[in-house]
Chain A
């Protein structure tokens, strides 16, 4: 059965728990570095190793980042929050407990606006967000019969953002995840690098008959680490659960893992097997008190947020909701676009080029916007020349290719060097048109004999010849008009 059919009968209910790694330089409770990629256990100090006698000290930067996230989603920031210990044994959990927040998390209720592919927006409510430390990693390769433990990641600050079960499709879940990604990268509180695990999520998903109020039994899919995998995992779960329910079965509350290789989720453990984490307040950390002055100070440090930018792009700049959504997906992209726009002054032109030619080349070369060989200023300069008719669209593509290949410092330099300046002198254009008409008597005859609607298409041949003769520099609309006038005079 396909997903569409399942959706006819069942309503899908999805909530996400997203772990965002905060980009502090040191760990949440120790001074060890959080940099990615070091040799195993080189970035684990006595505190991270959980040596006897060590104590945690809360990283103030991590607190500031969490608070800024809270402000960005318009959440309650309680004056008082506490840290709790979540107790369980695992080899990569050095202390035998994870320091987390449970009873009084740092961030209360808030909401995130999401944009769906069709440009419509929705609101997903946030239940809370809490701070916690990451665990280490178990390495199962290279140690025959044993496991290696790398505690470099142990103690990395995480913000766990828990949504309400407000999403109704894989698309919405993915859009929500993208919205969170945009927020945390705009805030600069996370690099958002999903491949390195800086952002990963647990998906809670259940089905219920349409119209039913109570929630169905949910499955939790753990540790999904890409936008696409989230969509795939949800699609698989919808199918699995709907088949189960339609066959008269029941969904068991359990934790599942998504395997990207086989594109399926597999049961990990059921509720009965779940740990009793024995949460209790961590006696080594005092309650965290945040006064209004502190929160207001953090607010003053907030940049323009994705939703604010999106609204400005559609409102002030007149972009479509779709364009605004694409351009604000990441802060570097939005800022690139804004710089291009600032230089060329034409928002739609800038939006088309950034999303079109630029993104295509970046994707082709596997580059990030921050690595673009063409700077926003260079692209802006190029688009200025397009906007003021100095060059035509064809020449613009050529200039862009040259800029990409570092064949010039600026569009103006390349235009001058290659003689791409558009010919707008009507005398010059007229001479070219006359020559092309004189040189192609057969085509002229065909044109004269054709019906009116065919003639419209046939004129393209002459335009092409004129452009060729001008080495692409003639102004195409002018050429078009001139040719039409001259050819129609021959009818």
Chain B
């Protein structure tokens, strides 16, 4: 059961092949067996999961079960879940039991999904390798020496390892798409404003967006159907009708105009990754698509602009973690200032502190215009690049990351780590949707040498339905998304 997609599991539940309780119990057993080596979960909520599964089963017996009822999933530990620890991967919130649930969690719970627990992540979603977690790094299921990517590395690894069929992630600069690519799964970052951010612990509010991570585009569509929509509690969520993302999955791609941005195939791109991506594009051509070379001239400014805007917002968003009302508090504070200083010094990890410092600096009097204001100008240019490109093409394609998964500890220099997000970050700055789908395995012949490659597909604002269609048709023609890592061998 652990290899199946959500859609397949839904059919199994509907056909009475197994109950949600059986499915849930089987996956919990598998988590218990395999996850100690992977470390993809921070909290496993077995008892609540079994209870929820039983509720779904009894709803099904009464004929009241919706399409997603009884299906298991996991939440990145950045989504508040009532009564369950919500740590954001930080020591700061190790003791934080959320007193309320995020809007997306509420929605999925109401749809009958069964949460197995909370997945590991880079602290406060800051990182590209999942090495910045207070709970230790996550291992890539394909090879335990490799990182799973980040910051939604726990979600990606859990889905790839067959611990859970789907998980939610968040994407501020590539945090869904890059780990999806590294772990060989499908991950969608929706348009900014498509999914409510209420209850999602904020990293960079103008960039953060929640999205599904699963084994197929079809599964992402199923989840997005339940997640998307305006939330009166999130002023930045957009009130715009939510289409049925499953309906047009099979639409033929005849005449699809694919743009290949020159900037996404330049220096720094691993040759194997480039080869896999170009082959995927060829598959699309064989399906009736047309390839057009385009340019996104301001791509080079995306990382610098991001590392002004995101830390600026983060420095402010993370001010509430002061040891006063919740979260970590230092022992025996001598004064208020001591309470602040030591609680924050002890509660936050290195990367979080680095970004708080950067953000505090760039917002300071005398620096604001040179950094923040300038970065916002760049942001508008980047957005315009995409809008111009989408005048000529329907989607853009390229690699999700410049390399495949790298080794744990390989990128000690933060700037090297930041460059991981070179193809994903501009997408958040522009607010457009993007999806990463498995498009090849590179490396040696031995199964533990296989490293997944992610193809990133980008569309215009609110173009999720089309992106999912483009991804799904590819997945009907190829089987990269069905390749599974040799997890059992490692366990």
Q: Do A and B come from one complex?
A: yes
Which B residues touch A58, using CB under 8 A?
A: 235
- Residues of B near A89 (CB, < 8 A) are 319, 322, 340
Asked if residues A54 and B198 are in contact (CB atoms below 8 Å), the reply is yes
Which residue of the partner chain B has the closest CB to A87?
A: B316
Nearest residue (CB) in B for A280 is B363
Cβ of B101 to closest chain A Cβ, rounded Å: 9
Residues B99 and A91 in contact, CB atoms below 8 Å apart: no
- Using A51-B326, A280-B363 as known contacts, say yes or no to A46 and B100 having CB atoms under 8 A apart: yes
A56 touches B235 (CB 8 A): yes
Interface residues of A in 97-132 (CB under 8 A from B): 97
**How many residues on chain A are close to B (CB under 8 Å)?**
28
Q: Which of B86, B197, B235 has the most CB of A within 10 A?
A: B235
Which of A49, A53, A85, A285 is the one whose CB lies under 8 Å from B316?
Answer: A85
Decide if B200 touches A53 in the complex (CB within 8 Å). yes
B336 contacts partner chain A, Cβ-Cβ < 8 Å: yes
B393 proximal to A (CB < 8 A): no
- In whole angstroms, how far apart are the Cα atoms of A27 and B58 in the complex? 41
Question: Is B320 a contact partner of A283 (Cβ separation < 8 A)?
Answer: no
Q: Which residue of A lies closest to B202 (CB)?
A: A53
A55 at the interface (CB under 8 A from B): yes
Instruction: For chain B, residues 303 to 324, give those with C-beta under 8 angstroms from any C-beta of chain A.
Output: 312-313, 315-316, 318-322, 324
A458 at the interface (CB under 8 A from B): no
Asked if B80 CB lies within 8 Å of chain A CBs, one says: yes
Is A437 an interface position by the 8 A CB rule?
Answer: no
User: A276 contacts B364, CB within 8 Å?
Assistant: yes
Interface of B is mostly: loop
Q: Which of B93, B99, B324 lies at the interface centre, i.e. has the most chain A CB atoms within 10 A of its CB?
A: B324
Contacts known (A53-B202, A97-B316, A276-B365); A286 close to B99, Cβ less than 8 A: no
A28 shortest CB reach to chain B, Å: 13
Map CB proximity to B onto A129-148 as digits: 1 under 8 Å, 0 otherwise.
Answer: 00000000000000000000
Q: B96 contacts A52, CB within 8 Å?
A: yes
Cβ A283 vs Cβ B326 within 8 A: no
Instruction: Kindly list chain A residues whose C-beta atoms are within 8 Å of the C-beta of B88.
Output: 52
- Contacts between chains A and B (CB distance < 8 A), count: 99
Q: Which residues of A contact B319 (CB under 8 A)?
A: 87, 89, 95-97
Decide yes or no whether B43 CB sits under 8 A from chain A.
Answer: no
- Please, what's the 1-or-0 string for B192-219, where 1 marks a CB less than 8 Å from any CB in chain A? 0000011111101110000000000000
Cα distance A96–B197 when bound, in Å? 20
Which residue of chain A has the shortest Cβ distance to B327 in the bound complex? Answer: A52
Q: Which among A46, A96, A283 is the interface contact of B313 at CB below 8 angstroms? A: A283
Tell whether A50 pairs with B235 under 8 Å between CB atoms, given A55-B198, A276-B365, A283-B206.
no
Residue B368 is within 8 A (CB to CB) of chain A in the complex = yes
Cβ of A149 under 8 Å from chain B:
yes
A54 to B233, CA, bound (A): 8
- B157 to nearest A CB, angstroms? 24
A94 contacts chain B at the CB level, 8 A cutoff: yes
* CB atoms of B99 and A55 under 8 A apart: no
Q: Mark A39-60, 1 if CB is under 8 A from B, else 0.
A: 0000000100111111111100
Q: A95 to chain B: which residues have CB within 8 Å?
A: 319-320
Within residues 352 to 367 of chain B, which ones have a CB less than 8 A from any CB in chain A?
360, 363-365
Interface size bracket, B side: 35 or more
Contacts of B316 in A (CB 8 A): 85, 87, 96-97, 278, 280
Which residues of the other chain, A, contact B200 by a CB distance below 8 angstroms?
A: 53
CB distance from A137 to the nearest CB of B (A): 14
CB distance from A12 to the nearest CB of B (A): 30
Would you call A55 and B234 a contact (CB within 8 A)?
yes
Whether A96 pairs with B325 at a CB distance below 8 angstroms is no
| Interface flag for A409 (CB, 8 Å) | no
**Bound CA–CA A97/B315 (angstroms):** 10
Q: Which of B233, B321, B363 contacts A87 (CB 8 A)?
A: B363
B320 touches A53 (CB 8 A): no
In the bound complex, CA of A279 to CA of B366 (Å): 12
Q: Which residues of B in the span 76-108 have a Cβ within 8 Å of any Cβ on A?
A: 79-80, 86, 88, 93, 96, 98-100, 102
A428 within 8 A of B: no
Q: Which of A313-347 contact B (CB under 8 A)?
A: none
Judged by a CB distance under 8 angstroms, whether B372 is at the interface is yes
Check: A284 CB closer than 8 A to any chain B CB.
yes
Contact B320 A50, beta carbon cutoff 8 Å: yes
Bound CA–CA A52/B99 (angstroms): 10
Task: Please indicate the chain B residues that have their CB under 8 angstroms from the CB of A94 in the complex.
Answer: 320, 325
Contacts A54-B199, A58-B235 supplied; 12 other A-B pairs, CB < 8 Å:
A49-B325, A52-B98, A52-B201, A52-B202, A57-B232, A57-B233, A57-B235, A96-B316, A278-B316, A280-B312, A284-B205, A286-B235
List chain A positions with a Cβ less than 8 A from chain B: 46, 49-58, 85, 87, 89, 91, 94-97, 149, 276, 278-280, 283-286
- Give 8 nearest A-B pairs by CB, closest first: A96-B319, A278-B363, A283-B205, A283-B206, A53-B199, A52-B201, A50-B320, A53-B80
Q: Can you list 12 contacts pairing A with B, beta carbon distance less than 8 Å?
A: A46-B99, A49-B325, A52-B96, A87-B319, A87-B363, A96-B318, A96-B322, A97-B316, A276-B364, A280-B316, A283-B205, A284-B236
